[in-house]
A and B are shown apart, each in its own frame.
Chain A
Amino acid sequence: MKKSLAVLGIVIFLLFPILFLGSCSSPNKKSQPDQTENLHKVDTVTIQLMKFTPGELTVNPGDTVIWINKGLVSHTVKSYQDNKFYSDTLNPGKTWTLVVKDSAAYYCSIHPTMQGKLVLK
């Protein structure tokens, strides 16, 4: 009897770390669907030397684009087609973010010779 109790104790002792580690690893399995759900990417357009770089950006619907003003002066980001998007005035060092829904050609309303394009895949 004593012998069988000792064997049971050893079995429990050996199985405990396996069960414990198994329970710890389960949250990792749960996080996997989150990674597949969030497929939208984030792109950056730099405003510098009076240009939007890249001038043309290809994106998927739902992707995020961040414009960052690294220039000397203030700029805006405005779609040619009315009501699509129009940023606030971006002072040097400031950023503006847009979740892209549609293709659009845009320009800086302060410096109308500065132009860019968002193209949906």
Chain B
Amino acid sequence: MKIKKIITASAICFAVSAGLFPTAANAQKNQKLTDPEIASVAVTANQIDIDYAKIAIKKSKNQQVIDFAKTMEKDHGAVIDEAVALVKKLGVTPKDNATSKSLNAQAAKTRKMLNSKSGKAFDKAYVDNEVAYHTAVIGDVENVLIPDATNKELHDLLVSAVPLFKAHLEHAKMVQKSLEK
């Protein structure tokens, strides 16, 4: 059982480190993102996690997992609201791009995987994915979106979102640890 957990954790770590998640860095391949594209990626990445949370709220029976998912739904919704308010203020239209398309394509596969599981296997799959997804998103926001953002307000919104995503990651790890018991 322990070996199985180690293999699963190693596989997720490998997937993240090897760039198998469709992160902004991989999808864009060193091409600088414009502000409308960054806005689109930010909204897409947050919406994807809301969609995962909705599945968890519906399927999980574990109160800790449900509470975590409700926090994800509410917090990422708040970030989207801020991003939408900012793009309206700036008169910018979020522009669909290779990164946001790639994120959506991978998310569809993950949702299918989550929907195929139930019980404790679902809880584990959801929380493991939250750890991996937040790790990947934090890396992309810090290394791609923030450096590429030219508008100061968009840049500042991304900077202020990083501690939120890091708190989510630590929270997900807490839940992950409690599921192992």
Contacts and interface: CB of A to CB of B under 8 A. Distances in A.
Pair from one complex:
yes
Interface of A: 49-51, 71-74, 92, 110-114
B170 A113 contact: yes
Chain A binding surface, main DSSP class: loop
Given A72-B78, A74-B74, A113 B164 contact: no
Contacts of A112: 171, 174
B160 interface: yes
B167 A72 contact: no
B174 A73 contact: no
Interface string B72-100: 00110011001000000000000000000
Interface residues of B, number: 16
Nearest to B79: A72
Contact of B163 (A50, A74, A92, A110): A50
9 contacts: A50-B163, A72-B161, A72-B164, A73-B74, A73-B78, A74-B74, A110-B71, A112-B174, A113-B170
A114 B166 CA distance: 11
Given A72-B79, A111-B171, A112-B174, A51 B74 contact: no
A49 B166 CA distance: 10
Contacts of A111: 71, 167-168, 171
Contacts of A92: 78
Interface in B125-181: 160-161, 163-164, 166-168, 170-171, 174
A36 to B, nearest CB: 43
Nearest to B70: A110
A49 B156 CA distance: 12
B29 to A, nearest CB: 30
A112 B173 CA distance: 11
A50 B164 contact: yes
A72 B82 contact: yes
A110 B163 CA distance: 15
Enumerate the 8 nearest inter-chain pairs by beta-carbon distance, A residue then B residue, closest first. Answer: A50-B163, A113-B170, A50-B167, A49-B163, A73-B75, A73-B78, A111-B167, A113-B167
Nearest to B173: A113
B79 to A, nearest CB: 6
A49 B157 CA distance: 11
B160 A49 contact: yes
A92 B161 CA distance: 14
B171 A73 contact: no
A92 B174 CA distance: 25
A116 to B, nearest CB: 14
A25 B78 CA distance: 56
A112 B170 CA distance: 9
A110 B145 CA distance: 27
A74 B74 CA distance: 9
A118 B170 CA distance: 23
A72 B160 contact: yes
